[in-house]
Amino acid sequence: MKEFKEKWLKELDMAVPKLSQDVLDAPILVGEVEQDAPPKRKFKFSWKWFTVCVSGAVAIVLTLIITLNLMSGNPQNPPPTTQNSYFAVLEVNPEVMFTVDEDGVVVSVTALNSDADVVIADSDRLNSLVGVPFEESAKTFIDICAKLGYLKLDESGAVKITHSGDEIDLSPVVDKIESYFKEKGVFSLVLTAKTTVEEISNRLNLGFLQSFDDVVGALNTLPNLFTEREAIGKTIEEIQSSYKQNVILGDMQDYIIEKLKRGLASGEKLEEIYDLNESIKAHQDNPLFFVGGVDYWALQSLDREFSDELSLIMEQMGQKVQEFKSAYGVELDSLSLTANHLLYSVVDKQLISSIINSSSEEDYINGLPFIKALLQENGVNLEFEEDFDSLPTTKEEFSTKNANYLSKMYTLCEKDNQLSYETQRETISDGDYQAFLTNVIDEFGSLENYWASLKNSSTTSI
């Protein structure tokens, strides 16, 4: 350092001329005193002095850059420029992603699977989820899922929220959803987990974008519907293949198979009710036993008491008739019970079961004419299936077909699940809800294990 200083001073001496003795001896003037202008001196350029100056400037700039990098963390992975904004993925069965701003308000909603497309395809429903606090939007989305039957109100379950925020308090969201479950009488739990912007980006097939703003910018150029994003960049042949798998052999097959399952289940319930009604007619305490007896509905019209044994059977019959009405929306009487019993007795139950349990596309397609005929005979409207069982021939046709399909799916799901959704259930107290949560944790070890069990059972049932 000493040698450098001496060298620096020497360079300065060489660059600046020495003052004459007359200048050194001259008095220091104070105030406004006119003086003759000193003679102009030419500056003698020195490459050595220039090098020293440049080296010093470069050193200062490098120091500033290093300091700024240390202050900002990893210079290659800058943090999101929008503070306190985050993504939140809500999984019911439909999976949807909310983009939440720094005020906790939802600014956009993106479907992550085809079920979520059914929920948000309509602009009015989508608008109801945007521009409101996240907790309100999440509750509305879950309520729509319940209305469509994606959330089973008569079964215990859970929903999961995965978010990318740092130090984000989701307790208002959890409280809002739990309150909804308690009011509806549903034993479902809420669990939360942390994720990263990079994982969100990868899930959206955007690559590993690391900035919140970069992901938002990419999403602004894409459709919010999952099925439309999946069609981007594909040939019409690829779109047709995807449509066949996801619609004709996917949702459409699921819809028809569900109708078959429901038909078999209702038939089995009808057989139980029919047998119970026959036992009432043949019971020795039946007042008209000597003429072959009368059925449950005829006995109900009689103003008289019955034996304890017959009264018990009558009570069981009443419960089953009411359960059938709650499950299938049909109020039975003598005539309808007899007619449906006869219809069910001629159905090839073994063939239907084989179609339901078969994983072969060929078996399903070959059995489709029989299935359609059977369902139509039982009053099932298959207009929905007939509208969408052909492949789109252009991308434009796919877009139109997809929009109509999503709208139709919503209408059908809402109609099929209307009775269950509108059924009044007893509200759940805070104590009972907490007891349910405690029991789940005791049985499964954690909410994550419980969630994994639910996902596994759902996959197995499919």
Residue 281: HSE in the Cβ half-sphere, 13 Å Cα cutoff: 13
Q: How confident is the model at residue 367 (pLDDT cuts 50, 70, 90)?
A: confident
Cβ–Cβ < 8 Å for 188, 197:
no
User: How far is Cα 161 from Cα 292, in angstroms, rounded to an integer?
Assistant: 62
**Helix-strand-coil split of the chain, %, nearest 5:** 60, 5, 30
Residue 213 lies in a domain: yes
User: How far is Cα 113 from Cα 90, in angstroms, rounded to an integer?
Assistant: 12
- Calculate mean pLDDT across residues 33-42: 46
The whole-number pLDDT of residue 340 equals 87
Task: Using alpha carbons, select from 152, 140, 154, 145 the residue that is nearest to residue 95.
Answer: 145
Residue 314 lies in a domain: yes
Most confident of the ranges 315-319, 349-353, 358-362: 315-319
- Residue carrying structure tokens 């359960």: 323
Task: Using alpha carbons, select from 111, 97, 92 the residue that is nearest to residue 212.
Answer: 97
pLDDT at 248 over 70: yes
The whole-number pLDDT of residue 77 equals 31
**Could you tell me if 55 and 91 lie in one domain?**
no
**Could you tell me if 130 and 260 lie in one domain?**
no
Residue 446 lies in a domain: no
**Could you tell me if 286 and 331 lie in one domain?**
yes
Query: Among 368, 391, 414, which residue terminates a domain?
Result: 391
Q: How confident is the model at residue 235 (pLDDT cuts 50, 70, 90)?
A: very high
The whole-number pLDDT of residue 351 equals 78
pLDDT at 30 over 50: no
Rounded to the nearest 10 degrees, how much is the dihedral formed by the CA atoms of 200, 205, 206, 208?
60
Sign of the dihedral defined by the CA atoms of residues 25, 30, 33, 39, in that order: positive
3-state SS string over 73-131? CCCCCCCCCCCCCEEEEEECCCEEEEEECCCCEEEEEEECCHHHHHHHCCHHHHHHHCC
Residue 194 belongs to what H/E stretch?
strand 188-194
**Could you tell me if 312 and 254 lie in one domain?**
yes
Task: Using alpha carbons, select from 198, 238, 278, 188 the residue that is nearest to residue 392.
Answer: 238
- Residue carrying structure tokens 């252009």: 394
**Could you tell me if 242 and 181 lie in one domain?**
no
Most confident of the ranges 67-76, 311-320, 451-460: 311-320
The whole-number pLDDT of residue 118 equals 96
The whole-number pLDDT of residue 297 equals 93
Per-residue pLDDT of 158-188, as tens digits, reads 999 999 988 889 999 999 999 999 999 999 9
The least confident of 16-25, 83-92, 324-333, 444-453 is 16-25
Residue 192: HSE in the Cβ half-sphere, 13 Å Cα cutoff: 16
**Could you tell me if 211 and 255 lie in one domain?**
no
The whole-number pLDDT of residue 312 equals 94
User: How far is Cα 209 from Cα 177, in angstroms, rounded to an integer?
Assistant: 31
**Could you tell me if 139 and 225 lie in one domain?**
yes
Mean pLDDT for all residues in the chain: 81
**Could you tell me if 197 and 282 lie in one domain?**
no
The count of domains in the chain is 3
**Could you tell me if 46 and 151 lie in one domain?**
no
Residue 340 lies in a domain: yes
- Return the ∠ at Cα 419 (arms to 453 and 403), rounded to 5°: 75
Residue 462 lies in a domain: no
Residue 80 lies in a domain: no
**Could you tell me if 337 and 387 lie in one domain?**
yes
User: How far is Cα 403 from Cα 406, in angstroms, rounded to an integer?
Assistant: 5
Query: Among 231, 257, 290, which residue terminates a domain?
Result: 231
Cβ–Cβ < 8 Å for 185, 156:
no
Per-residue pLDDT of 186-210, as tens digits, reads 999 999 999 999 999 999 999 889 8
Query: Among 169, 203, 231, which residue terminates a domain?
Result: 231
Q: How many residues does the chain have?
A: 462
**Could you tell me if 58 and 192 lie in one domain?**
no
Task: Using alpha carbons, select from 106, 385, 461, 388 the residue that is nearest to residue 227.
Answer: 388
The whole domain housing 41 covers 2-72
pLDDT at 111 over 80: yes
- Return the ∠ at Cα 381 (arms to 375 and 387), rounded to 5°: 110
Check residues 35 and 134 and name the one with the higher pLDDT. Answer: 134
Residue 301 lies in a domain: yes
Both tokens assigned to 391: 């492949």
pLDDT at 238 over 80: yes
Please state, as a whole number, how many other Cβ atoms lie within 10 Å of the Cβ of residue 157.
18
Residue 419 lies in a domain: no
User: How far is Cα 387 from Cα 14, in angstroms, rounded to an integer?
Assistant: 95
Residues in CB range of 354: below 8 A, 6 or more apart: 363
Both tokens assigned to 162: 């995965």
Cβ–Cβ < 8 Å for 87, 200:
yes
Per-residue pLDDT of 417-430, as tens digits, reads 998 899 999 999 99
Angle between helices 252-282 and 349-357 (to 10 degrees): 150
**Could you tell me if 158 and 29 lie in one domain?**
no
> How distant is the alpha carbon of residue 425 from its chain centre?
25
Q: How confident is the model at residue 374 (pLDDT cuts 50, 70, 90)?
A: confident
